[in-house]
Structure 1
Amino acid sequence: MNNENNLRTFLRLIAWRIVARWITKGGPKMNMPSINIQIIITLNSMHKGKTMSVQPVEISKAYRLLQVGSTTMISAKYDGVENVMSAAWVGLAGERKVVAYIGTQAFTRQLVEKSGYFVVQIPVVSQMATVLYAGGRSYADAPDKNDTIPFFYQPEFDLPLVAGCAGWLVCKVMPYPDIQQQHNLFMGDIVAAWSDNRVFRNGHWIFDDAPDELRTVHYVAGGQFYAIGKGSKFDHGPGQD
Structure 2
Amino acid sequence: MRVAVPLEQAYKLLNHGPVTLVSAAHGGQANVMAASWAMPLDFAPPRVALVVDKSAYTRELLLAAGGFVLGIPGRKLAQAVVQVGSCCGREVDKFAAFGLEWQPGSQVAAPLVQGCAAWLECRLMPEPANQEHYDLFLGEVLAAWADDQAWRDGRWVFADPELRTLHYVAGGQFFLTGESLVVDTAD
Report the TM-score when normalising by structure 2.
Answer: 0.85
Counterparts in 2 of 1:155 and 1:100: CA distance versus 1, 3 Å: closer
Q: Which amino acid aligns with 1:221?
A: A
User: What's the secondary structure of 1:220's corresponding residue?
Assistant: strand
Corresponding residue of 1:228: 177
What value does the CA root-mean-square deviation take over the aligned residues? 1.4
Aligned with residue 79 of structure 1, among 27, 30, 49? 27
Matches within 5 A, 1:59-74: 69-74=17-22
Corresponding residue of 1:120: 70
Corresponding residue of 2:39: 91
Task: Judging by fraction of residues, say which structure has more strand.
Answer: 2
2: CA distance, partners of 1:145 / 1:156? 22
Q: Which amino acid aligns with 2:182?
A: K
Task: Judging by fraction of residues, say which structure has more helix.
Answer: 1
Corresponding residue of 1:183: 134
Is the 2:117–2:146 Cα contact (8 Å) retained in structure 1?
Answer: yes
For structure 1, the residue ranges without an aligned partner over 5 or more in a row are 1-67
Matches within 5 A, 1:1-241: 69-95=17-43, 96-142=46-92, 144-147=93-96, 148-207=99-158, 210-236=159-185
Q: Which amino acid aligns with 2:72?
A: I
What is the aligned length?
A: 167
For structure 2, the residue ranges without an aligned partner over 5 or more in a row are 1-15
2: CA distance, partners of 1:231 / 1:169? 22
2: CA distance, partners of 1:200 / 1:226? 19
- CA deviations 1:114-162 (Å, max 9, x no partner) are 11001000000011001001101111122x3220211112445432110
